[in-house]
Amino acid sequence: MIKQLTIFGVGLIGGSLALALRKAAACTRLVGCSRNSVHLQQAIDLNVIDEFTLDPIEAVRDADVILLAVPMGAMEAIMEQIADHLPPAAIVTDAGSSKASVVAAAARVFGEVPEFFVPAHPIAGREKSGVSAAIANLFVDHKVILTPLDNTCPSAIERVTRMWQTAGAQVQTLGVEQHDLVLAATSHLPHVLAYGLVDTLSETDYVEEIFQFAAGGFRDFSRIASSDPVMWRDICLENKTAILDALQNFQDNLEMLRNSIERSDGNALLKTFTHAKTIRDKNVMKHKTKPE
Amino acid sequence: MIKQLTIFGVGLIGGSLALALRKAAACTRLVGCSRNSVHLQQAIDLNVIDEFTLDPIEAVRDADVILLAVPMGAMEAIMEQIADHLPPAAIVTDAGSSKASVVAAAARVFGEVPEFFVPAHPIAGREKSGVSAAIANLFVDHKVILTPLDNTCPSAIERVTRMWQTAGAQVQTLGVEQHDLVLAATSHLPHVLAYGLVDTLSETDYVEEIFQFAAGGFRDFSRIASSDPVMWRDICLENKTAILDALQNFQDNLEMLRNSIERSDGNALLKTFTHAKTIRDKNVMKHKTKPE
């Protein structure tokens, strides 16, 4: 049971967690904090949070759990504002999509990463963003990855684990670096590709026809190009190295495919396509969890 | 009303059309032909077709409509086998994913593209292929693009249009070249990217985690990497020029994005992502048809 959860950034993720905990009666008081009182009032009107304040210090005063659910680029500034004002028993966790940068920010702000800080990443999202898109079951059967450090307090890990489990999520643990590599490949790279594809096609003479006759391939690809641009800009900057790595591998692969098509090398194409299909079919059968 | 529809290649597309016409009682006799009697017998067992033959000449003898629903690479061989044996009033149409190559094949086989040949492309598909994946409502609310030539007989166009409308499809017309450019961008390129992405990721040390923690972006991208490799090899070979064009544009765009990430140029990233989201949201609102 949480007495007061303070959420920095009551958007899709923060708002959905609030709704889930409220539904489960797992939190006595839900407090929101951001720089935007209009959004926070909307969160009150939608019955997502109980109270809000624009003052970070006031926001954390009586909190036992504090969730940083702001865009990656705003994490460090919030940490700086609250660092000297945290209640002794408070646990801090976050919902950032890359973990090394959040951990590095915590180390800079606190001198070392505090034992009460549990880096976390709920793998869930929708095309829509903002508190109006928040839903209580967003995390049901989705994964939340915790990336605790050696010094992270086991009881803090346990508490964050239970919080996300209460929201219906499957909580698992990865190393910080491993998390960033895996997510760069499975989430960050595909988003870059989707934005790039839509941007490319928007430059052609036949944009109108492209959307009019859009087949499934394009629909699937382009859906995630409707994601929040600020969030994804931040992710690209914060998980830069891993994303550039994954991107380079992909670009090399694409160049190889281009060469095969140029040479009309049907055998090479068939080999690659068959290999990809086999890998994908095998692994999808094995891991039947819900997509984002 | 069709008296006899002969389908070359009773797979997902040919089989689904057969089921749709049977359901609508719009065809008296459904005849299948391919080189594989096991698949054809399966089509009989599933009540998809009424009869089958392995002999193309026999297959077309009493047909009033002939559908070529074989992989692109097999189109010309079928045309050659039936060219001299078509009944006088028979209409020939196809279901190929690129049109210039089919039209060129018809021109080679028949001397010029016959007026009774209606090039067509049903934009529908599933991850699964083969006759066992065929369903009667596959084409409902999906587009079928006809790419008739100047000499194509209007009554043949009309008949093929009605056939697909009976299956629930929305029939529209594009020029051959325009079709190939638009489909290269919206369907062929995304498939190449999906195969390439899964292939790339299969080379990493953490394939297991990639699928275990796969987020929505990757799910969406990789779904189409489960498509039939032979079909997509053929499409890459048959619509080579348009695909290479679209691929080059995309590669250039990706290189630009890579540079922005390398330079940590948040403004450039935000500009591209916002532009893509705007284009995508605007056009998706405008064209609300079913995805493939």
Domain residue limits, chain B: 2-173, 178-286
Sign for the CA dihedral angle at B14, B20, B26, B30 comes to positive
Task: Quickly name the fold that domain B2-173 has.
Answer: Rossmann fold (3.40.50)
Give the pLDDT band of residue A288 (cuts 50, 70, 90). Answer: low
What's the pLDDT band for B283 if we cut at 50, 70, 90? confident
N- to C-terminal Cα distance for chain A? Answer: 27
Q: Dihedral through CA B159, CA B164, CA B167, CA B170, nearest 10?
A: -130
Segment B219-236, tens digit of pLDDT: 777 888 988 899 999 999
Burial of A138 by CB count in 10 Å (0-12 exposed, 13-18 middle, 19+ buried)? buried
If you average pLDDT over residues B162-176, what whole number do you get? 97
pLDDT of res. A291: 41
Select from B289, B8, B72, B284 the least CA-distant residue to B168: B289
Report the side by side order of strands in the sheet with B143-146.
B120-122, B143-146, B170-173
Mean pLDDT of B193-214: 87
Q: Considering only CB atoms, which chain B residues are within 8 Å of A211?
A: 283-284, 286-287
Answer whether residue B8 shows pLDDT above 80. yes
Give residue A263's pLDDT band: very low, low, confident or very high (50, 70, 90). Answer: very high
Q: What is the structure's pLDDT at A207?
A: 82
- Nearest neighbour of B210 by CB, restricted to A186, A192, A229: A186
Q: How confident is the model at residue B291 (pLDDT cuts 50, 70, 90)?
A: very low
**pLDDT score, position A83:** 97
Instruction: Express as a percent the part of chain B with pLDDT over 70.
Output: 97
Q: Could A125 and B258 be called an inter-chain contact, meaning their C-beta atoms sit closer than 8 Å? A: no
The DSSP code sequence of B26-74 is -EEEEEEE-S-HHHHHHHHHTTS-SEEES-HHHHHTT-SEEEE-S-GGG
Does the pLDDT value for residue B215 go beyond 70?
no
Distance CA A121, CA A142 (A): 11
pLDDT band at B290 (very low <50, low <70, confident <90, very high): very low
Q: Are A191 and A161 in contact (CB under 8 A)?
A: no
Nearest by CB to A178, which of B186, B209, B215? B209
Q: Is A239 helix (H, G, I), strand (E, B) or coil?
A: coil
What distances in angstroms separate CA A214 from CA A126, A207, B122, B167, B245, one per listed residue? 21, 10, 12, 20, 18
Q: Say which residues have a Cβ less than 8 Å from residue B169's Cβ, sequence separation at least 6.
A: B122, B124, B139, B140, B141, B142, B143, B144
* List of chain A residues whose C-beta atoms are within 8 Å of the C-beta of residue B201: 185-186
- B249 CB neighbours in chain A (<8 A) are 200, 203-204
- The CATH class given to the A178-286 domain equals mainly alpha
Q: For CA atoms B251, B291, A224, A252, give the dihedral sign.
A: negative
Of B237, B248, B257, the CB nearest to A196: B257
Instruction: Give residue-wise pLDDT tens across range A30-76.
Output: 999 999 999 999 999 999 999 999 999 999 999 999 999 999 999 99
Q: Using the predicted structure, report yes or no on whether residue A215 has a pLDDT greater than 70.
A: no
Q: Which of A187, A252, A273 sits opposite B232 (nearest CB)?
A: A273
- pLDDT tens per residue across span B118-158: 999 999 877 788 999 999 999 999 999 999 999 999 999 99
Angle among Cα A117, A237, A16 to the nearest 5 degrees reads 50
Distance from C-alpha of A255 to C-alpha of B85, rounded to nearest angstrom: 45
Q: What is the CATH number of domain A2-174?
A: 3.40.50.720
Cross-chain Cβ contact A232/B273 below 8 Å? yes
ipTM of this complex: 0.85
User: pLDDT per residue over B65-120, tens digit each?
Assistant: 999 999 999 999 999 999 999 999 999 999 999 999 999 999 999 999 999 999 99
pLDDT of residue A292: 39
What angle separates helix B75-82 from helix B100-110, to the nearest 10 degrees? 30
Q: Which residue of A has its CA nearest to B219?
A: A291
* Chain A environment of B280 (Cβ under 8 Å): 198, 222, 225-226
Are A6 and A33 contacting, i.e. CB atoms less than 8 angstroms apart? yes
Q: How far does CA A148 lie from the centroid of its chain? A: 16
8 Å CB contact between B119 and B174: no
Q: How far apart are CA B129 and CA B126, in angstroms?
A: 7
Global pTM? 0.84
Task: Report the alpha-carbon distance of residue B118 to residue A253 in Å, rounded.
Answer: 37
Cβ B221–A190 below 8 Å, yes or no? Answer: yes
Contact status, residue B95 vs residue B8, Cβ threshold 8 Å: no
